[in-house]
Amino acid sequence: MKKVLITGFEPFGGAAINPALEAVKKLDGVKLDGGEIVICDVPVTRYEAIDAVIAAIETHKPDYVITVGQAGGRFAITPERVAINMDDFRIPDNGGNQPIDEPIYEDGPDAYFSTLPIKAITAALKAKGIPCQVSNTAGTFVCNHLAYGVQHYLRDTNIGHGFIHIPLLPEQAATGDQASMALDVIAEGLRLAAQATLDNQTDIAVGAGKIC
């Protein structure tokens, strides 16, 4: 029985909710085919976010870790391909930190690729009618920071990890100017992502390239 740790960020930027935390709360203890989901919540604060997920990894000893955050404006659930060694925060995080062009770890590599089967995850969600596409940037705020930091921590282990961004909830986008996705659809998408991770030890070779 494999364990998948799925983590969700707390609200940030003055918002009252974060769909990542709301969706992840729905997945606590959910059984998968060959596994189960455990969860943890994550502060939107530089380094404290990484520490919170490391603590959860040490507690739960998962086989896979899926870190999840909100991406306002995105139309789909988006597994991230890469995290970069760069903090450039457009707004302060919840601890008041606002680094500009600072590395996350001075001696870290420029980037880490996701070790989740991102193409297989994308295919699994699309097959169930849930909008999903690979993303090639996790931004430069706390989501990228966490994705990079967790990947750095896990670099010499065989624990798979990747970050998934999710859209806003309808109630966060009620002005009609931004895309949104219902909470149950997001939660089901994350469950399917966890199942696809268990089902695909190696990723499938399907194109998800972009031309700018």
Q: Catalytic site residue 80? A: yes
CB 150, min distance to ligand PCA, A: 14
Within 143-172, which residues bind ligand PCA (CB under 6 A)?
Answer: 143
> Which of 24, 44, 83, 147 lies at the binding interface for ligand PCA (CB under 6 A)?
44
3-state secondary structure of 196: helix
Give how many residues touch ligand PCA by CB under 6 A: 12
Residue 9 is a binding residue for ligand PCA (CB under 6 A): yes
Count Cβ atoms within 10 A of the Cβ of residue 121 and give its class: 0-12 exposed, 13-18 middle, 19 or more buried: buried
- Closer by beta carbon to ligand PCA, 64 or else 141: 141
Checking phi first, is residue 206 left (phi over 0); if not, alpha (psi -120 to 50) or beta?
beta
Residue 141 is a binding residue for ligand PCA (CB under 6 A): yes
> Which of 5, 6, 20, 38 lies at the binding interface for ligand PCA (CB under 6 A)?
20
Residue 197 is a binding residue for ligand PCA (CB under 6 A): no
- 3-state SS string for 102-163: ECCCCCCCCEEECCCCHHHHHHHHHHCCCCECCECCCCCCHHHHHHHHHHHHCCCCCCEEEE
Q: Catalytic site residue 143? A: yes
Residue 71 is a binding residue for ligand PCA (CB under 6 A): yes
Q: Catalytic site residue 212? A: no
Q: Please give the helix or strand (H or E) that residue 19 lies within, else none.
A: helix 19-25
CA–CA dist 64, 23 (Å, integer): 18
> Which of 4, 7, 12, 66 lies at the binding interface for ligand PCA (CB under 6 A)?
12
Taking contact as CB under 6 A, which single stretch among the options 50-58, 65-73, 152-160, 175-183 is the one that binds ligand PCA? Answer: 65-73
Structure token pair of residue 104: 């996350």
Are the C-beta atoms of 164 and 78 separated by less than 8 Å?
yes
Q: Which residues bind ligand PCA (CB under 6 A)?
A: 9, 12, 18, 20, 44, 69-71, 139, 141-143
Q: Which residues are designated catalytic?
A: 80, 143, 165
